[in-house]
Amino acid sequence: AQKPVTVTVTGAGGQIGYALLFRIASGAMLGPQTPVRLRLLEIPAGLKSAEGSALELQDCAFPALESVEVTDDPARGFDGANVALLVGARPRGPGMERSDLLKANGAIFGPQGAAINAHAAEDVKVLVVGNPANTNALIASAHAPDVPPERFNAMTRLDHNRALAQLAQVLDVPVASISNVTIWGNHSATQVPDISHGILTGPDGTQGSLVGALAKAIGSAQDMAQWFATTFIPRVAQRGAEIIEVRGSSSAASAAAAAIDHVHDWVLGTGSSWTSAAVVSDGSYGVPRGLVSSFPVTSQQGSWHIEQQLEMGADVRERLEVSVNELVEEREMVRSLGLI
């Protein structure tokens, strides 16, 4: 029998939580053979909703689900956690300044980082979903000095998946035939989708350049470049706003699916393609060391490796600089607020 894995979900009573818990419990995240112990961490206002989900989880009779516990005590919530999904966050209210937003989230992610440091399992892996995700991950990590910073990630997998889906639609190919697409930088409007290394695998297994296939589908290399800058990038970067407009509330099931994908690949490994995840920078590609920024990554044996020595066009480089500057500014702001 496999060892049970303790998975803590914060904001478990919210809408992403509701889409996430059942997939974790069904085995989609860690494999159907891995027993899961769920800890649902909420604030008092969200406890009832989380308790309702706990009842429904029971009713699903998932074979892999060993136990579910609901709590508003971070020490209990993170006790023995092997995987922590930090979903609960303070959303930006009307007229709220960025510094107020960072302050409000610092008050959540600082103490949660400290509770993870004190109570989580030694091998804990943390994925921050709650926005501003990259900087929230930085704050949590700063309060967990005993946990290697490599184990605090922020989620850009939803942006990555959105990019794959848009490309598949334009090319009229299965989404799985597209690989080596990257989201660089911050999970924000400045994120940098990059298809320059993309590969398209045909039905017969032959591999070709994604950019070449797109140029063919769109008309010419020039039209493709135009489409990429004026249609594709805004479509991916502003998809969250589009979902809010159409659905009436923000992405939940797709965000949960991306969180499942992220942790699945982190723990169980990536295949032949890389994926995108915001991880602590080691200085690769000029991203200042210590920032949590999205990179092309592969995972083996439970740790991410940043793909090295990819050629970067001037356009991607310029966009990445803007996104990284935003991360630097956020880091300076949380420093000056005494949050890290």
| Per CB under 6 A, 42 contacts ligand NAI | yes
Task: List all residues 6 or more positions away from 242 whose beta carbon is below 8 Å from its beta carbon.
Answer: 235
Site for ligand NAI in 140-159 (CB under 6 A): 155, 158
Determine whether 305 is an active site residue.
no
Buried-exposed string 173-211: b where 16+ CB fall within 10 A, e elsewhere: beeebbbbbbbbbbbbebbbbbbbbbbbbeeeeeeeebb
HEC-encoded secondary structure of 279-309: EECCCHHHCCCCCEEEEEEEEECCEEEECCC
Give whichever of 133 and 237 is closer to ligand NAI, judged by the CB atom. Answer: 133
Residues 62-91 interacting with ligand NAI (rule: CB under 6 A)? 87-89, 91
Q: Does 252 bind ligand NAI (CB under 6 A)?
A: yes
- Report, in Å, the least distance between residue 301 CB and ligand NAI: 25
Query: Applying CB under 6 A, what is the total number of residues that bind ligand NAI?
Result: 28
Considering the complex, what minimum distance in angstroms separates the CB of residue 324 from ligand NAI? Answer: 18
Q: Please pick, among 119, 143, 160, 187, the residue that the annotation labels catalytic.
A: 187
Residue type, 262: H
Interaction between residue 45 and ligand NAI (CB under 6 A): yes
Report the side by side order of strands in the sheet with 275-280. 65-71, 36-41, 5-10, 83-86, 125-128, 152-154, 275-280, 292-300, 303-306
Cβ distance 239 to 165 under 8 Å?
no
CB of 152 to ligand NAI, least distance (A): 14
Q: Name which of 106 and 224 has its Cβ closer to ligand NAI.
A: 106
Q: Is 116 in the site for ligand NAI (CB under 6 A)?
A: no
Alpha carbons within 13 A on the beta-carbon side of 219: 7
Comparing CB distances to ligand NAI, the nearer of 131 and 177 is 131
Residue 105 assigned to a binding site? yes
**Residues sharing a CB contact under 8 Å with residue 70, sequence separation 6 or more, in sequence order:** 12, 40, 42, 47, 50, 51, 54
Tokens for 223, please give them. 């039209």
Query: Which residues inside 297-326 make contact with ligand NAI, applying CB under 6 A?
Result: none
| Cα gap 298→310, rounded to integer Å | 14
Identified binder of ligand NAI from the candidate list 39, 46, 120, 152, rule CB under 6 A = 46
Is 162 assigned a ligand-binding role in the annotation?
yes
Minimal distance, residue 44 CB to ligand NAI, in Å = 9
Which residue's Cβ lies closest to ligand NAI?
14
- How many Å apart are CA 340 and CA 337, to the nearest integer? 8
* Antiparallel, parallel or unpaired: β 5-10 and 36-41: parallel
User: Which residues would be at the binding site for ligand NAI (CB under 6 A)?
Assistant: 10-11, 13-17, 41-43, 45-46, 87-89, 91, 108, 129-131, 133, 155, 158, 187, 250-252, 255
Q: Catalytic site residues?
A: 187
Give binding residues as ranges.
11-17, 92, 98, 105, 112, 129-131, 162
Residues tagged in the binding site annotation for NAD(+):
11-17, 105, 112, 129-131
